[in-house]
Amino acid sequence: MILKRNTIYLSFLILCLSTCKVDEGSEIEPSSESNYQTKNVVIISIDGPRYIDTWNNTSIDLIPNQRSLKSEGVFFNNFYNNGFTYTMSGHAAITSGYYENIHNNGTESPANKSIFQQFLSYTKLPPFKSCIIASKKKLDALGNTKDLRWHNSFLPLTNTENREDSVTLRVSLDVLSEHQPSLTMIHFKGPDVAGHGNRWDDYLKAIQSTDIYVKEIWNYLQTVENYRNKTTLLITNDHGRHLDGIQNGFISHGDRCEGCKHISLLALGPDLLKGSIVTQHFGQIDLAPTIARLLNFPWEGEGKEIIPLTRQK
Amino acid sequence: MKNGILILSLFLSTQLNAQENSKSIEINTKGYFVDGIFRLISSPTINWAKNNREIGIGPTFLLASVVAASSNQYPRLVGLQAHYRYFPNGNNNQLNLFLFEEITLQVINDTWETNEWNYTLSKYQAFEYTNREYLGLSNLGYGIILRLSEKISVSQSIGIGVYYSKSDSNEKTPGAPELFNEDQNINGYKDFGLTYGLNFVIQFKL
């Protein structure tokens, strides 16, 4: 009888626990007047360099341009992909604010709406005011979602092709010049492609090349009236790669090892604390609510706004 | 996991009670997640019990779904549900535990809307599409039934299982942009995967 009663109590406990949900995340409500100077956000995503080969490289400086820009913005040395360390899933975490495992071949859109759709829905601006420009064609799936309430709605302009990063840079500058989008993501694939090809020298060169492209984009943003002192630039990654000694090292990625998860975030812009280093842990899903706050559009999701990033005007 | 094994062992180690045949009707309301997407359905079912086993069958009504765009159409008849329950400790006590297997087949007609930029009008234009989804779920689980009186009882249970889903979308608004192949089977989730959920039941003995 006692045994039976304990069973019943235990069962009730499990049933009760199964109904509980820990609610985390953030809800951004737009204010009537933005507290920030930022009117545009540009995200540069560099595909798959390891943190130890970029910011934590003690033997050779492959990213001198970003290092020099560091003093003008906020650098996060504890920034992570806390979800699935593949290209599509990593980017989906940035653009949808949720970690999820989606097909890495571009046939599956994220389960939640993207920041591009939410931005266009709120502002009612035309599609070209929100852009995805990428060196891998499959990234066009990030503009859409499987959620039927948002599927095929408020889709951003996508210019994604399997092409060299140098071409993507030229296309990006053309799009920024012609359409002057307010929310843009630019993707460079170089380090990831060279890594998968087991070409170490090319991998290092690709990191150097993307560093130059970052500088070119930043310089462009400082020369155009629409962007100068009104634009926040976020430079980050979708994932890292295995550290040496883990599986096949820099060639691959995709698990939850430190090398795959540890990425970087450098943020530059008029509302940011200059020359500061944030050691607090943040992840990719925290970018979506932060961008929503900067561009003053509503957002609801799992990520938390990155408060240490900004100072209000 | 350990708790689950403990409970299962307790079920199996308890002596079974012999019972009479009986018939009942019940309102079964359950919320379940299909690949993380929530749906709430209700099923009035008729049940037949013999000894410590029970089977039931009835229609299912969709009460709410976070996937569908047209929530004002609820509740709607969408399909059939059948279940099998096994009461290892018997079904005559005030509190009884049970294991169950449940199969739900649903056909859900729905509409969804897109907002696309019209370059001529320089504004977003809404288009409607129809969607017919075929969804099958098979859940295994366990629960507790509390007898409030000789005729009325309530129960709560949890289940986990698999689902299979397929859908077909087509243009509804005249002039709506034609759907690509990949947009015709749009569920908001994968075609096959795991499902889990909670059932709440109120049962009346006939």
CATH classification at residue B56: 2.40.160.20
Q: Provide the pLDDT for residue B9.
A: 41
The reply to whether residue A15 touches residue B123, judged by beta carbons under 8 angstroms, is no
Mean pLDDT, rounded, of chain B? 82
Evaluate if residue B13 carries a pLDDT over 50.
no
Q: Which residues of A are less than 8 Å from B189 in CB distance?
A: 111, 146
Tokens 């309530």, residue located: B154
The reply to whether residue B112 touches residue A121, judged by beta carbons under 8 angstroms, is no
Give the gap in angstroms from C-alpha A23 to the nearest C-alpha of chain B. 15
Evaluate if residue B100 carries a pLDDT over 50.
yes
Evaluate if residue B189 carries a pLDDT over 80.
no
As to burial, measured by CB atoms within 10 angstroms (0-12 exposed, 13-18 middle, 19+ buried), residue A268 is buried
Q: How confident is the model at residue B188 (pLDDT cuts 50, 70, 90)?
A: low
A154 touches chain B (CB under 8 A): yes
Evaluate if residue A219 carries a pLDDT over 60.
yes
* Best mutation target, B10, B30, B93, to test chain A (most A CBs within 10 A): B10
Give the gap in angstroms from C-alpha B69 to the nearest C-alpha of chain A. 5
Q: Provide the pLDDT for residue A11.
A: 54
The reply to whether residue A11 touches residue B69, judged by beta carbons under 8 angstroms, is no
Q: Classify residue B7: in a domain, yes or no.
A: no
A14 touches chain B (CB under 8 A): yes
The reply to whether residue B116 touches residue A15, judged by beta carbons under 8 angstroms, is no
Q: Provide the pLDDT for residue A1.
A: 47
Q: Provide the pLDDT for residue A277.
A: 94
Could you tell me the CATH superfamily of domain A26-309?
Answer: Alkaline Phosphatase, subunit A (3.40.720.10)
Give the gap in angstroms from C-alpha A150 to the nearest C-alpha of chain B. 7
Q: Which residues of B are less than 8 Å from A149 in CB distance?
A: 67, 69, 112
Q: Provide the pLDDT for residue A12.
A: 52
**Domain extents in chain A:** 26-309
Count of the separate structural domains present in chain B:
1
Evaluate if residue A119 carries a pLDDT over 90.
yes
Q: Provide the pLDDT for residue B133.
A: 84
Q: Which residues of B are less than 8 Å from A154 in CB distance?
A: 115, 124
* Stretch B168-194: mean pLDDT: 79
Q: What confidence tens digit (pLDDT) does each residue in A35-50 have?
A: 899 999 999 999 999 9
Q: Classify residue B74: in a domain, yes or no.
A: yes
Q: Classify residue B179: in a domain, yes or no.
A: no
Tokens 């155009």, residue located: A224
Most confidently predicted of A58-62, A149-153, A252-256: A252-256
Whether complex ipTM tops 0.85: no
* Stretch A86-99: mean pLDDT: 97
Q: How confident is the model at residue A161 (pLDDT cuts 50, 70, 90)?
A: very high
Evaluate if residue B165 carries a pLDDT over 80.
yes
Q: Provide the pLDDT for residue B15.
A: 34
Q: Classify residue B177: in a domain, yes or no.
A: no
Q: How many Å apart are CA A85 and CA A245, to the nearest integer?
A: 18
Give the gap in angstroms from C-alpha A265 to the nearest C-alpha of chain B. 30
Give me the domain span that covers residue B95: 17-108+133-161+192-205
Give the gap in angstroms from C-alpha A18 to the nearest C-alpha of chain B. 8
* Best mutation target, B117, B129, B154, to test chain A (most A CBs within 10 A): B117
Q: What confidence tens digit (pLDDT) does each residue in A290-299 have?
A: 999 999 999 9
Evaluate if residue B182 carries a pLDDT over 90.
no
DSSP element (H, E) containing A177? helix A165-179
Q: Which residues of B are less than 8 Å from A119 in CB distance?
A: none
Q: Provide the pLDDT for residue B20.
A: 61
Mean pLDDT, rounded, of chain A? 91
Q: Provide the pLDDT for residue B190.
A: 72
Q: Classify residue B91: in a domain, yes or no.
A: yes
The reply to whether residue A126 touches residue B117, judged by beta carbons under 8 angstroms, is yes
* Stretch B65-72: mean pLDDT: 55
The reply to whether residue B158 touches residue A18, judged by beta carbons under 8 angstroms, is yes
The reply to whether residue A111 touches residue B188, judged by beta carbons under 8 angstroms, is yes
- More confident of the two residues A189 and B182: A189
Give the gap in angstroms from C-alpha B121 to the nearest C-alpha of chain A. 11
Q: What confidence tens digit (pLDDT) does each residue in B115-161 have?
A: 999 999 999 999 998 888 888 999 999 999 999 998 899 999 999 99
Q: How confident is the model at residue B38 (pLDDT cuts 50, 70, 90)?
A: confident
Closest residue in A to B185 (Cα–Cα): A146
A10 touches chain B (CB under 8 A): yes
Evaluate if residue B176 carries a pLDDT over 50.
yes
Q: What confidence tens digit (pLDDT) does each residue in A96-112 have?
A: 999 999 899 998 889 88
The reply to whether residue B115 touches residue A10, judged by beta carbons under 8 angstroms, is no
Q: What secondary structure does DSSP assign to chain B, as a single string?
A: -HHHHHHHHHHHHSPP-----EEEEEEEEEEEEETTEEEEEEEEEEEEEETTEEEEEEEEEEEEESS-S-GGG-SEEEEEEEEEEE-TT-S-SSEEEEEEEEEEEEEEEEEEEEEEEETTTTEEEEEEEEEEEEEEEEEEEEEEEEESSSSEEEEEEEEEEEEEEEEEEEE-STTPPPPPHHHHS--SS-SEEEEEEEEEEEEEE-
